[in-house]
Amino acid sequence: MTMKKPLLASASLVLLLGGCSFIPEYIRPEAPVPAAYPTGPAYQASLVSAPAAGQSSGQEVLADLGWREFFRSPQLQSLIEQSLANNRDLRVAALNVEQARATYRIQRAALLPEVNAGGSLTRLRTPGDLSRTGRANVASEYDVSVGVTSFELDLFGRVRSLEQQALESFFATEQARTATQISLIAEVANAYLTLLADKELLRLTESTLKAQQQSFDLTNRSFQRGIGTQLDVAQARTAVETARANRAAYVRQIAQDKNALALLVGAPIDDRMLEAGPSLGTTDFLADIPVGLPSDLLQRRPDINQAEYNLRAANANIGAARAAFFPTISLTASAGTASAALSGLFDGGSGAWTFAPQITLPIFDFGRREANLEAAKVQREASVAQYERAIQSAFREVSDALAAEGTLGEQLDAQSALVGATQESYDLSLLRYNRGLDSFLNTLDSQRSLYSAQQNLINARLSQLSNLVTLYKVLGGGVTDRRDTGET
């Protein structure tokens, strides 16, 4: 009965002071960016305008746009699915989440007493000159007990502050995994688009090489018949060798593109699937992206959420540093049986118990606690700066993607018109050369201009598609997949 009184008193004290916490009140810092995206000649008003009254913001629509809906190419969907299952970087990020979850569980367990059961046997020999009887003797002691060892009463919230810090760090790690997934999806998409573009450039180069080889053969035969000059032959041969060099470069680049894609996917890729890839200009690869307001990034961007969770963790760490200035009370208690003989362990009157509370009061530590508190406050200020920097970086990335989106369409149209104009110029210059009205140099220049314009057109198409992938990424897309969540 005497043991229950101190236990009840301790439990009452814990209940009375259990709500004590020195964690500062968390206030989310103001976003250091404008309330709207930039406007001007480089931006499309339809993309950056705010939603009308009664309509959801673009980010809310984007939240429902899974990556399977955005990336419409079956080959690309298959590659992304394989990468989510096999990519090693994403696997490491997922394991980091599990590690953070385990760390949080360890810290959370410190809030409750750890109960252990144990038994011991002690044998002691007493020499004769120390024995009351004057003869040496051997004594035995057996005991079995259940108890709590060094359980800290969290009267000032130190343990709860550390538990809160571990929880926020766990949430931050989850957001880091999400950010890794989004980046992986975008990298796979861009790698696939780059591969398709390089294959188109290779086909264009092979076609150009064939045409230039025919021009060289024709020019060489004409020179052999006394028509034209040796300079014309040398210039035609220069064009052929240039195209041959470009062809070798694109063959090498395609092989490297496949290697990069295989690394991202994390598994061998079926070449037949890659060979079935369509042309960049003939297939609807990507869906349109609705764009909301900058404030939506605070909920959608995992890197911003990660920075905020880190800020919350730093804020909780201040509570633990403050609580260290106050006394620490720990309890050690056990109850069981003890006897000099093993057979008497459970006899009447063999009960035994211990109750040993301990209090540690900090007096002088050469400023260690003050330094820990100051370090915690500085870390919080650094976390604030990192959170604000994450918002600013996100705003800049979205603004850059919107500027590209607003200009790449016009650039692509102009490049297509340029290809048509250079094609007409080349046809006319070739006709004039065949009729003897112009030198081969003009024909060669027109052919080079056409080849360059066609290359730039393919690169412009790649830039437009890659920018859409980037815009989807920087807006926080690529998190969900309706097929994975069971939605239709």
Q: Give the integer Cα–Cα distance in Å for 283 and 397.
A: 27
Q: Look at residue 350 and tell me whether its pLDDT is greater than 80.
A: no
Residues 244-271: pLDDT tens digits? 999 999 999 999 999 999 999 998 888 8
Query: Same domain for 309 and 456?
Result: yes
Residues 195-214: pLDDT tens digits? 999 999 999 999 989 888 88
In a domain, 295, yes or no: yes
Query: Same domain for 357 and 440?
Result: no
Q: Look at residue 57 and tell me whether its pLDDT is greater than 80.
A: no
Dihedral of CA atoms 182, 185, 191, 194 in degrees, nearest 10, equals -90
Residues 117-151: pLDDT tens digits? 888 888 887 787 777 777 888 777 778 888 888 88
Q: What is the mean pLDDT of the chain?
A: 83
Q: What is the distance between the terminal CA atoms of the chain, rounded to a whole angstrom?
A: 64
> Position of tokens 């006897």?
339
Query: Same domain for 53 and 160?
Result: yes
In a domain, 3, yes or no: no
Q: Look at residue 17 and tell me whether its pLDDT is greater than 60.
A: no
In a domain, 2, yes or no: no
Q: Give me the domain span that covers residue 69.
A: 19-111+156-325+377-485
Query: Same domain for 119 and 35?
Result: no
In a domain, 372, yes or no: no
Which band of pLDDT confidence, cut at 50, 70 and 90, is reported for residue 283?
Answer: low
pLDDT score, position 15: 43
Query: Same domain for 78 and 131?
Result: no
Query: Same domain for 356 and 452?
Result: no
The average pLDDT across 36-41 equals 84
Residues 163-176: pLDDT tens digits? 999 999 999 999 99
Q: Give the integer Cα–Cα distance in Å for 471 and 398.
A: 6
Q: Per the structure block, which two tokens stand in for 252? A: 């090498």
pLDDT score, position 371: 95
The CATH number given to whatever domain includes residue 206 is 1.20.1600.10
Length of the chain (residues): 488
Q: Total domain count for the chain?
A: 2
Domain boundary among 335, 361, 387: 361
Give the burial string for 170-186 (b: 16+ CB within 10 Å, else e): bbbbbbbbbbbbbbbbb
pLDDT score, position 6: 45
Query: Same domain for 304 and 334?
Result: no
Q: Look at residue 285 and tell me whether its pLDDT is greater than 80.
A: no
The average pLDDT across 316-322 equals 93
Q: How buried is 378 (Cβ within 10 angstroms: 0-12 exposed, 13-18 middle, 19+ buried)?
A: exposed
Query: Same domain for 93 and 202?
Result: yes
In a domain, 401, yes or no: yes
DSSP letter, residue 345: T
Query: Same domain for 317 and 210?
Result: yes
Query: Same domain for 335 and 389?
Result: no
pLDDT score, position 19: 54
The 3-state secondary structure of the chain reads CCCHHHHHHHHHHHHHHCCCCCCCCCCCCCCCCCCCCCCCCCCCHHHHCCCCCCCCCHHHHHHCCCHHHHECCHHHHHHHHHHHHHCHHHHHHHHHHHHHHHHHHHHHHCCCCCEEEEEEEEEEEECHHHCCCCCCEEEEEEEEEEEEEEEEECCCCHHHHHHHHHHHHHHHHHHHHHHHHHHHHHHHHHHHHHHHHHHHHHHHHHHHHHHHHHHHHHHHHHHHCCCCCHHHHHHHHHHHHHHHHHHHHHHHHHHHHHHHHHHHHCCCCCHHHHHCCCCCCCCCCECCCCCCCHHHHHHHCHHHHHHHHHHHHHHHHHHHHHHCCCCEEEEEEEEEEEECCHHHCCCCCCEEEEECCEEECCCCCCCHHHHHHHHHHHHHHHHHHHHHHHHHHHHHHHHHHHHHHHHHHHHHHHHHHHHHHHHHHHHHHHHHHHCCCCCHHHHHHHHHHHHHHHHHHHHHHHHHHHHHHHHHHHCCCCCCCHHHHCCC
Query: Same domain for 161 and 255?
Result: yes
In a domain, 6, yes or no: no
In a domain, 13, yes or no: no
Torsion over CA: 225, 230, 236, 241 (sign): positive
Which band of pLDDT confidence, cut at 50, 70 and 90, is reported for residue 291?
Answer: low
Query: Same domain for 434 and 406?
Result: yes
In a domain, 1, yes or no: no
Lowest mean pLDDT among 65-69, 237-241, 393-397: 65-69
The CATH number given to whatever domain includes residue 338 is 2.20.200.10
